[in-house]
C-alpha cells in the first residue's frame, strides 16, 4: 500500500517496532499454516476458540509488506505455509464460475454457522496474494488474481456500493448485514489489481474502483464530522488511487481525517491514553487511524495547517502504540487489545494493524 512517510521523530524506532511485530507474527505460524489466532499475555495458558480467515489474510498482507525488513530466507517457509492454508479456502462461486472467492466455513471461521462469502475476506485475500506474488514466485497465477477480482465485481452494485455477504443456502445476498471496512478493502484490491504488470483490461478494474470511491464519498457528503466513520480503508484506497482526486473524493478524505483528529485523546487527565484514537484506549483503533492518516497525508499537503495537525496526530498515535507493544519473551512484538474484558488479549489482527502503522 502507498502511504505518506513524514514523521519527524527517530524513524529507527518505528522500523524496530515493525520488525518486532513482524517477527511475532512469523512465530505464530504453525506447521499447518495457521496462525496462533488469540492469546492472552496475562493468562498464558488461555487460547481463544475459533479462527478467522479474513484476519489470516490481513496478517499475511502485513507480513508481505514487512518483508524488506528481513532476508527472504527468514520468512520464506512460514509465508509459504500460511499461503497454502489461505489458498485452501478459495473456490469458485457456483453462480459465476469465472469468479473465485475466499469462503468462510463453519468449523473454520469463528463466527459463521453457514457456508458464505464475505466481501472483505476476498478483498484482503486478493491484496495479500498481490503482495506475496513477488516473494513466492510460481505460487500465485495471474488467472487466480483476476478470478478474485471478478468476485469483487460480482458483489458490486451499479451505483458503486458493495454487497457485504452472500450465503448460498439463503439464495441471496444479505442486505441487512453490512461492514464499514469491506468497501474500502474491495476498492483498494481493485486498484492494486489494475496495476499488476500482466493484468488484462486494467481500466475495467479501475472503473469499478472509481465507482466504489465515489459512492463512499457521496454517501457521507452531508454528515457532520462527529458522525463520519473512522474508515481507514477508504483513506488507504484513496491514497492508492493513481489519478488526481476529484473535489468530491478530496472532500471525503478531508472529512475522515478531521473525524479522526477530533477523536484523538489529547487530555493529560488520563496520561496513559494520550495519543489513542478512542476513549477506551483500543490499540487497534489507534493503529488503523494512523494507517489511514498516513495514506491521506500526500493528498492534503496543500493545506498546511491540516497536514501539520495530521502529522502531529500520527506521531502521538504511533508513540501510544510503542508504549503498548509488549517486549518480553514469547510476547516480544505483540500488541494487546488494551480494552474490553481481556485487555491483554493478543489477536493476530491487533498485531497486524500495529505492524502496518509502524511501517508507515
What is the average per-residue pLDDT within 311-336? Answer: 96
DSSP, res 89: T
What is the average per-residue pLDDT within 159-185? Answer: 90
Task: Please give the C-alpha separations between residue 334 and each of 44, 47, 205, 270, in angstroms, as whole numbers.
Answer: 13, 15, 36, 23
DSSP string, 108-160: TSSS-SS-EEEHHHHHHHHHHHHHHTTTSTTSS-HHHHHHHHHHHHHTB-TTS
Looking at residue 2, what is its pLDDT?
Answer: 42
- Predicted TM-score (pTM) of this structure: 0.95
> What are the pLDDT digits (tens) for 290-322?
999 999 999 999 999 999 999 999 999 999 999
Closest CA to 33 of 4, 59, 72: 59
Sign of CA dihedral 259, 261, 265, 268: negative
DSSP, res 29: B
> What are the pLDDT digits (tens) for 243-278?
999 999 999 999 999 999 999 998 876 778 999 999
Q: 296-315: string of b/e by CB count within 10 Å (b at 16+)?
A: bbebbeeeeebbebbbebbb
Closest CA to 290 of 356, 239, 349: 356
What is the average per-residue pLDDT within 108-122? Answer: 88
Domains of the chain: 11-359 (1.50.10.20)
SS3 call for 173:
strand
Looking at residue 8, what is its pLDDT?
Answer: 47
Going by pLDDT thresholds of 50, 70 and 90, the confidence category of residue 10 is low
Q: Taking the mean position of all CA atoms in its chain, how far away is CA 101?
A: 18
Distance CA 227, CA 264 (A): 15
Amino acid at each position: 500500500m502507498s502511504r505518506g512517510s513524514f514523521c519527524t521523530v527517530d524513524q529507527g524506532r518505528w522500523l524496530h517496532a515493525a520488525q518486532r511485530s513482524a517477527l511475532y507474527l512469523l512465530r505464530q505460524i504453525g506447521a499447518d499454516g495457521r496462525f496462533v489466532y488469540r492469546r492472552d499475555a496475562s493468562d498464558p495458558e488461555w487460547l481463544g476458540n475459533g479462527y478467522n480467515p479474513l484476519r489470516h489474510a490481513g496478517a499475511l498482507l502485513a507480513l508481505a509488506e514487512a518483508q524488506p525488513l528481513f532476508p527472504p530466507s527468514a520468512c520464506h517457509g512460514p509465508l509459504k505455509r500460511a499461503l497454502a492454508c489461505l489458498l485452501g479456502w478459495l473456490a469458485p462461486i457456483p453462480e459465476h464460475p469465472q469468479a473465485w472467492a475466499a469462503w468462510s466455513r463453519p468449523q473454520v471461521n469463528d463466527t459463521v454457522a453457514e457456508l458464505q462469502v464475505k466481501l472483505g475476506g476476498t478483498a484482503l485475500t486478493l491484496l495479500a496474494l498481490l503482495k506475496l506474488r513477488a516473494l513466492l514466485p510460481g505460487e500465485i497465477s495471474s488467472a487466480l488474481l483476476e478470478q478474485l477480482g471478478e468476485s469483487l465485481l460480482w458483489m458490486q452494485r451499479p451505483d458503486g456500493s458493495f454487497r457485504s455477504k452472500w450465503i448460498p443456502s439463503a439464495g441471496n445476498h444479505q442486505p441487512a448485514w453490512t461492514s464499514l471496512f469491506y468497501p474500502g478493502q474491495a476498492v483498494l484490491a481493485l486498484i492494486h489489481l489494475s496495476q499488476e504488470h500482466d493484468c488484462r483490461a486494467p481500466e475495467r478494474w479501475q472503473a469499478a474502483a472509481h465507482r466504489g470511491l465515489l459512492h463512499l464519498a457521496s454517501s457521507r457528503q452531508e454528515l457532520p464530522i462527529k458522525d463520519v466513520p473512522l474508515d481507514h480503508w477508504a483513506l488507504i484506497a484513496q491514497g492508492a488511487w493513481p489519478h488526481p482526486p476529484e473535489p468530491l473524493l478530496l472532500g471525503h478524505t478531508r472529512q475522515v481525517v478531521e473525524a479522526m483528529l477530533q477523536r484523538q485523546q489529547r487530555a493529560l487527565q488520563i496520561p496513559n491514553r494520550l495519543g489513542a484514537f478512542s476513549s477506551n484506549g483500543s490499540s487497534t483503533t489507534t493503529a488503523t487511524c494512523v494507517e489511514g492518516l498516513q495514506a491521506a497525508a500526500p493528498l492534503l499537503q496543500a493545506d498546511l495547517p491540516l497536514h501539520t495537525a495530521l502529522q502531529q496526530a500520527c506521531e502521538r498515535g504511533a508513540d501510544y502504540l510503542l508504549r503498548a507493544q509488549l517486549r518480553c519473551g514469547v510476547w516480544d512484538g505483540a500488541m494487546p487489545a488494551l480494552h474490553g474484558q481481556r485487555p491483554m488479549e493478543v489477536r493476530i489482527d491487533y498485531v497486524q494493524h500495529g505492524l502496518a502503522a509502524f511501517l508507515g
